[in-house]
Amino acid sequence: MIKELAPQLYQIEVPLPKNPLKATNSYVIKTAQRNLVIDTGMFREECKRVMDKALESLEIDREMTDFFITHLHADHLGLAGYLSSGNSRVYFHRRDATILEVPNFWETISRRARQLGFPGPELDQAIRTHPGKKFSPAEAIPFDLITDGQVLTFGDYHLECLHTPGHTPGHTCLYERRKKVLFSGDHILGDITPNISTWFVEENPLAQYLESLDRVFYMEVDRVYPGHRSVLKNCRGRIQELLQHHRQRAEEILYILEKEKKTAYQVAAEMSWDIVSENWEMFPLNQKWFAMGEAIAHLRYLEVQGLLENRLLQDDTLYWQRR
């Protein structure tokens, strides 16, 4: 489906089959000189067909088209290599590009997840079926690395790169100051909350995310074009809702750990989720993965706040407890 949002601006809804996100929003700025595609969908046939047809319908010459990828996740980055030409620039933040270059990335994640309490049999399947592993670009992409504050100009759009770490370390929005428009990627979403997660307890992505929300809060934004679901008009109101959501999450985790130490997996099992399931055991496996990653991010945030501590016990499992 293609929607014309404004002069020179179009939205393509790229389907994500059997995924609760349902679709990725890809945005196209079409000009007489060069075009820009913001995010692409996964590297899978269903996404390829939709993007091929949509770009053809919009009469987009790929030799005259550049790409901006808000962050490293496969539902945004997946088709960047497939759709771009040898004459295209693929704009991407250095922090996320560095992650893509990590050797044996999934093996490292698997070891961490096991240490944080993810059961072995479930873990192997979760890694094997993870959409980030299955539907990422088939080959390395020669990125044009961007910096915070850099301005990209396409026709009447002067797009300021706004580094907003949290959802990923290199997540970057695009802000059009005169039009008061924000292409938010997965930084700000409307009827769902962005997944803020980590598997590395040395990191504190939730603190970064909250700081990134504060940064955007004071900007003049009339329209938010998100990576998923509907366009937003009340940016500040949505940011306040997201801040409240994470305050409630933190309070919930403190309550869960009130009486005894637990692994991140055990904490995630007791948290409240907007997933229709009889119990944690019946949870879709991929959603367990994302839930546990979010639990770890909140545990780490509370640890830095001085409210929790973790201990690695003799079974090589990390437990969290109240201070």
Supply the DSSP symbol for 21: T
Query: CB 244: neighbour CB atoms within 10 A?
Result: 10
> Are 72 and 133 contacting, i.e. CB atoms less than 8 angstroms apart?
no
State phi, psi for 279 to the nearest 5 degrees: -160, 180
What number is the average pLDDT over the span 264-289? 88
Is the confidence at residue 275, as pLDDT, over 90?
A: no
Whether 112 is covered by a domain: the verdict is no
Range of the domain at 164: 2-104+134-257
Look-up: residue for tokens 């979403």? 189
235 in any annotated domain:
yes
* 39 in a structural domain: yes
Q: Residue 211 domain-assigned?
A: yes
Q: What pLDDT, in 10s, does the model give residues 109-132?
A: 999 999 999 998 899 999 999 999
Residue 276 has pLDDT above 90, yes or no: no
pLDDT digits (tens, 9 = 90+) for 201-257: 899 999 999 999 999 999 999 999 999 999 999 999 999 999 999 999 999 999 999
Q: Tell me whether residue 317 is in a domain.
A: no
Q: What is the pLDDT of residue 278?
A: 74
User: What pLDDT digit, counting tens, does each position of 55-105 carry?
Assistant: 999 999 999 999 999 999 999 999 999 999 999 999 999 999 999 998 899
Which phi and psi (to 5°) does residue 175 adopt?
-120, 125
* Domain count within the chain: 1
Q: 15-24, 40-49, 221-230: lowest mean pLDDT where? A: 15-24
242 part of a folded domain: yes
Domain harbouring 75, CATH code: 3.60.15.10
pLDDT digits (tens, 9 = 90+) for 138-194: 889 999 999 999 999 999 999 999 999 999 999 999 999 999 999 999 999 998 999
| Dihedral angle, C-alpha 28, 29, 32, 34, nearest 10 ° | -80
Indicate whether 126 belongs to any domain.
Answer: no
Which pLDDT score is estimated for 64?
Answer: 98
Q: Does 128 reside within a domain?
A: no
- Displacement of CA 124 from its chain's centroid (Å): 23
- Per the CB < 8 A criterion, the answer to whether 81 and 138 are in contact is yes
Q: Which two tokens stand for residue 154?
A: 């396409």
Query: Alpha-carbon Rg of the chain, whole angstroms?
Result: 20
